[in-house]
Amino acid sequence: MKKAEAFANECQIELGKVRVDNSELDRINVRTPILSHCLYRQSHFQANLENQVKELNVRIIDLETKSYTSSSRPATLSRKADSRIEEITSQLTGKGHAHRLSRDSKFDLDRQRVKLDEERKGYEMQLATLRKSMDELHTQDNLLQSAKRRAEREAADYKQKSLNLEREVERLRNRLERPASAFGSPTSSPRK
């Protein structure tokens, strides 16, 4: 029975090839006596192959019918075996599907891990840049604070000097503006 099916399949394949060849030759549409003869032989061969395929299909159906009717094993046993075969087949396809799913999910996890790792590296670089900027700002702040203190000290010093100079100017002005009597007469000498 398997040989008949295999032969029928081979014949169908050959028939398909012949049909393709025929369609190509029809497209070319060259009218030569040799080509016409080849086309005739090919179409005859094609018809023979089609007949053989039909006969083989009928034989396959007959053989299948005979095998089911003359089966020495009971039908329930055959059904159990068929159901067991289907069960094992479905399990195998399920395992293949599960394996494919686990492989796909592993690939997805790896892809997500790589993406998250890249994001982490990007954030670390941003963090390092921000830390560097913060250190620079802190250094700048310290420099500005020390410059402010220096400027405040200098301002206080200049203010003090200014006050001292104002007092000195006031003292000198007072000294110049005092009447001569307060100093005594120019004729009188302080030493007597």
Per-residue pLDDT reduced to its tens digit, 4-21: 778 778 888 888 888 888
Angle at 66 (CA atoms; ends 63, 67), nearest 5 degrees = 85
Is 11:51 a contact under the CB 8 Å cutoff? Answer: no
10 and 59 share a domain?
yes
User: In this structure, is residue 91 part of a structural domain?
Assistant: no
DSSP state of 74: -
Per-residue pLDDT reduced to its tens digit, 49-64: 788 888 887 887 777 7
User: In this structure, is residue 139 part of a structural domain?
Assistant: yes
53 and 9 share a domain?
yes
* DSSP state letters, 94-157: HHHHHHHHHHHHHHHHHHHHHHHHHHHHHHHHHHHHHHHHHHHHHHHHHHHHHHHHHHHHHHHH
58 and 122 share a domain?
no
User: In this structure, is residue 165 part of a structural domain?
Assistant: yes
50 and 107 share a domain?
no
Checking 62-66 for CB contacts under 8 A at 24+ apart, the result is 63/1, 63/4, 64/1
59 and 1 share a domain?
yes
124 and 169 share a domain?
yes
Per-residue pLDDT reduced to its tens digit, 86-122: 777 776 666 666 566 667 777 788 888 898 999 899 9
Whose tokens are 């003869």? That residue is 37
User: In this structure, is residue 1 part of a structural domain?
Assistant: yes
Query: Total structural domains in the chain?
Result: 2
Residue 120's domain comprises 103-174
pTM across the whole model: 0.33
109 and 66 share a domain?
no
User: In this structure, is residue 23 part of a structural domain?
Assistant: yes
